[in-house]
Structure 1
Amino acid sequence: MEKPACLIVYTSMSGNTEEIANDIAKGINEAGAAVQIKDILQADPADLEAYDGILLGTYTWDDGNLPDEFLDFYEDMDTLRLQGKPAAVFGSCDSYYEHHGGAVDILIEKLTELGANIILDGLKIDLTPTAEEKEQCIQYGKSFVNDEWGPFSCFN
């Protein structure tokens, strides 16, 4: 069986979400899948249709909003066909705000509207990932590929 190919598209202002994306990618690789990481400014929404699984990552701006650099991508996603495609969302957040990780929730809702199969709960890391949270991110990547039904089952 060919390795499933996953795409991670993220945006990061302080580097926290980029760090999370890299740790998740490490977990995906360790689980035996291929992964490509793209910054939101180098990605096209149509890229999401070309991969077996997709993960979106963003920090939350202000009190629960998507950051400006994600807005065009978000709006352009409306034309995508993602029915049944395994997907997950992650991001760095700040628990100071009432809507902790609101941007993660916004992207989960959008992917669900487009028919994607959200296979993991949104991963919200408060600010810079600790060593323990970095391991959690690696496990998140592994879980994206290997779930309780066996390796790559979500991609079959």
Structure 2
Amino acid sequence: MSKIFLGYTSMSGRNEKIAGNLKSYLEEKGAEVDLEQLVDADAFRLPEYDAVITVTYTYNDGDIPDEAQDFFEDLQDVDLAKTKFAVLGSSSKSHIHFGRAVDYFTMEMNSSNGDQVADSVKINEDPDDDDYARIHQLADYVLKSLD
């Protein structure tokens, strides 16, 4: 059984809802999922997992959310040693920095020797059925990479 870390940040509740849906979907497919808020998560434990999925929002002027800052900074000192990963999150297309934190997490995890197995997914505000289809496709790519 594959063990997946699913970490999230959520201000409005959107990403918490996305992470909960993703956890249920992955578990239906037979994965073991540890769901944690990034403020409580230990980035140095990530190499213990078969895969890592991060769900984040973009704050203010394209920033990493404050509650994810320590986790993000710790990633700079973590060797993901080819750990499979994917990143997604909600944002607002009306904002000039739409989904920039998703990009920052993707770049940092790649820089930490992670193995990106799915294109990053950016969701405009509340997810609709098409967004959930893209979220589930991301999950399918993660699971397929673990076969």
Contact 2:22-2:139 at 8 Å conserved across structures: yes
CA distance in 1, matches of 2:108, 2:38: 16
Contact 1:28-1:144 at 8 Å conserved across structures: no
Contact 1:58-1:90 at 8 Å conserved across structures: yes
CA distance in 2, matches of 1:23, 1:6: 14
Give unmatched runs, 5+ long, in structure 1: 147-153
After TM superposition, give the deviation of residue 57 of structure 1 in Å. Answer: 1.1
**How many aligned positions are there?**
147
1:24-63 equivalence runs, <5 A: 24-63=22-61
Deviation >4 Å, runs of 4+ = none
What SS class does the counterpart of residue 107 from structure 1 fall into? helix
1:58-69 equivalence runs, <5 A: 58-69=56-67
Q: Which amino acid aligns with 2:146?
A: F
Q: Which residue of 1 aligns with 2:146?
A: 155
After TM superposition, give the deviation of residue 95 of structure 1 in Å. Answer: 0.3
Which of 109, 112, 119 is the aligned partner of 1:111? 109
Q: Which residue of 1 aligns with 2:3?
A: 5
Q: Which amino acid aligns with 2:21?
A: D
After TM superposition, give the deviation of residue 52 of structure 1 in Å. Answer: 0.7
**CA RMSD of superposed structures (Å):** 1.5
Q: 2:72 matched to 1:80?
A: no
After TM superposition, give the deviation of residue 130 of structure 1 in Å. Answer: 1.6
TM-score by length of 2: 0.92
Contact 1:17-1:91 at 8 Å conserved across structures: yes
Identity %: 31
CA distance in 2, matches of 1:37, 1:45: 13
TM-score by length of 1: 0.87
Q: Which residue of 2 aligns with 1:14?
A: 12
Give unmatched runs, 5+ long, in structure 2: none
What SS class does the counterpart of residue 79 from structure 1 fall into? coil
